[in-house]
Amino acid sequence: MALSWPTLVILVQVFIVQVQLYEIPEGHNHFIKSLNRKLLRKTLDVTQDANPSVYIGLRLSEDHNLEKEKEYHQRLKPFTLALSSSNLNVDSDDELKTGLVALHLMAQRASCEKTDALMQSKLIARLKNHLLKEKESIVLNGGPLTSYYQYSLGILALCVNDKFIDRHFINKLIVAEERDQFVLGGSISIDTEAMAGLALLCSKNSNNYPRYEVVHIKKAIRNIKEKILASQKADGQFGNIYSTPLAVQFFLALGGHSGKEASPKAMAALLEAMKLGKFSNPMMMSQLLPILHQKTYLDVAKMKCEEMTDSPQLVLSSIHTHDEAVEDGMIKVRLVVSGYHFNKVVEVPSHSSLLDVLETAQRQNSYFSYETKDSLHGPFLTTVNNVEGQWFLYKDKNVPLLEGVADYKPEDGEKIILSLSSFGSN
């Protein structure tokens, strides 16, 4: 069938719109390169454990420093090896590391290196075993042992590694979506919606499932799309600024005209946040970097390894400005432990983090103590005054903080509330 000129012109225009969706406006390239360099520089800090998400982020960029990436991959390997060789029959819930194993598996794939087949198969076996335990918990307790975020990450990692996933695992995601169970701390988690969306998109594209199953997968994807679109704020963010990168990954992977209206505003919000220095956490930077190059986690399955060698090389100059601001005087922060009668003003040097505030409070008050546990995002508050549980961080008027204890820098006169959650989490 011959196409008329007007039809051709329309088709070309449609194609251009599709390609340009979520594209960065001219003149912002230096911000992207600067974020890339910042993330690369984080990998040079040998006091921090290698983070598979950071590695994936760097690999999904268009710009590379292959030497530094290789060195970082070397640092990642012992962790991957340890995960692959540890006992498969993890009994304790605490030890279930679905998301971490998934990220290591994806990082391995993103490395373009010839993989150690034994390690690879053990890692896959471990991930499948974890997913099985998660699925059992969904059936028995109504939710996974870790979270739907990690469950989705697990499915995604197997999928980008071309591993078949039994449809019952996918069905659990579909049902959870139908029942609006991608909720954290009592409200919808756009990060989880997006990660589940990516896992379902990858599964749909794998052509591994019968038609009737694909119909259900497609419906769940459509619902996720609607929920994410409905979460867009006036300034363009989907959910909040830190869930926006994964939401955009979802729309990019969805392709076509999805999120066409929403995309310029979302990109503008992200660029603005980048300019304001809001993306300094390596984990957050690693989720953002791919979309700045029109990439998503699904692209891990089709890494263009040869092209990388010819790609422009990112050079790290030896001189760089430190992130830390210069201290100028002291500030006062009111620290409140909700429901535990702790309400004290703590004095710390300006530009201190909330972690510094907690540390000072602990030093000065025998009746305040706290503990954190390391995570890929940084220190996670686990215990306050010997009470272990899900602690949430708020500032005045119960506004939840959008950063963790190490990243958040309170202002003079601010009130910080530590509150134990009564919500379950999925």
Q: How far is the CB of 173 from ligand B12 (least distance, A)?
A: 15
Determine which helix (DSSP H) or strand (DSSP E) holds 18, and give its type and residue range: helix 5-20
Q: Which helix (H) or strand (E) holds 343?
A: strand 342-349
Considering only residues 229 through 248, tell me which ones interact with ligand B12, judged by CB under 6 A: 240, 242-243, 246
Under rule CB under 6 A, which residues in 396-425 are in contact with ligand B12?
Answer: 400-405, 407, 425
Segment interacting with ligand B12, rule: CB under 6 A, options 88-96, 218-226, 229-237, 388-396: 388-396
Length of the chain: 426
Q: Which of 65, 192, 286, 352 binds ligand B12 (CB under 6 A)?
A: 192
**Nearer Cβ to ligand B12 (111/243):** 243
User: How many residues in the shown chain lie near ligand B12 by CB under 6 A?
Assistant: 38
* 129-188 positions binding ligand B12, by CB under 6 A: 146-147, 149-150, 184-185
Q: How far is CA 398 from CA 10, 140, 416, in A?
A: 50, 34, 9
- From the CB of 288, what's the least distance to ligand B12, in Å? 10
Q: For ligand B12, which stretch binds (CB under 6 A), given 97-105, 113-121, 131-139, 310-318? A: 97-105
Cα-to-chain-centroid distance, residue 154: 13
Q: Which is nearer to ligand B12, 84 or 281 (CB)?
A: 281
Chain-centre distance of CA 217, in angstroms?
A: 23
Query: Is 214 a binder of ligand B12 (CB under 6 A)?
Result: no
Nearest to 267, CA basis, from 14, 12, 26:
26
96: which strand partners? none
CB 336 within 8 A of CB 417: yes
Which one, of 416, 413, 397, 420, lies nearest residue 405 by Cα?
Answer: 416
Q: Euclidean distance between the first and final Cα of the chain, in Å? A: 51
CA distance 44 to 53: 15
Specify the residue, 364 or 375, whose C-beta has the smaller distance to ligand B12: 375
- By C-beta, is 194 or 331 nearer to ligand B12? 194
Closer CB to ligand B12, 356 or 403, in the complex: 403
- Work out which of 163, 293, 377, 415 binds ligand B12, going by CB under 6 A: 377
* Interacting residue with ligand B12 among 271, 301, 376, 420 (CB under 6 A): 376
Distance CA 117, CA 416 (A): 49
Shortest distance (Å) from residue 6 CB to ligand B12: 44
What is the C-alpha to C-alpha distance for residues 298 and 421, in angstroms, rounded to an integer? 34
Nearer to ligand B12, 190 or 314 (CB): 190
Tokens of 335: 């620290």
| Residue 326 buriedness (CB in 10 A; 0-12 / 13-18 / 19+) | exposed
**Smallest gap from residue 207 Cβ to ligand B12 (A):** 28
Nearer to ligand B12, 260 or 415 (CB): 415
Please name every residue paired with 395 in a beta bridge, in sequence order, or none if there are none.
Answer: 399, 416
Question: Which of 54, 76, 100, 331 is in the footprint of ligand B12 by CB under 6 A?
Answer: 100
C-beta of 176 vs 314, nearer to ligand B12:
176
CB of 74 to ligand B12, least distance (A): 21
What is the amino acid identity at position 327? E
Draw the binding track, 267-296, toward ligand B12 (x: CB under 6 A; -: no contact).
--------------x--x--x---------
Core vs surface per residue 299-310: b (16+ CB within 10 A) or e: bbbebeeeebee
Residue 98's SS3 state is helix
Phi, psi for 327 (deg, rounded to 5) = -70, 135
Residue nearest ligand B12, Cβ-based: 404
Contacts 24+ apart (CB under 8 A), 359-366: 361/335
Q: Which one of 69, 134, 191, 299 is in contact with ligand B12 (CB under 6 A)?
A: 191
CA-wise closest residue to 75 among 42, 122, 98: 42
**Which DSSP string corresponds to 47-58?**
TSPP-HHHHHHH
149 SS3 class = helix
Which range of residues in 56-64, 79-87, 99-107, 230-238 is near ligand B12 by CB under 6 A?
99-107
CB nearer ligand B12, residue 246 or residue 270:
246
Of the residues 73, 391, 409, 410, which one makes contact with ligand B12 according to CB under 6 A: 391
Give residues in contact with ligand B12 (CB under 6 A): 99-100, 103, 146-147, 149-150, 184-185, 189, 191-192, 240, 242-243, 246, 281, 284, 287, 375-381, 390-393, 400-405, 407, 425
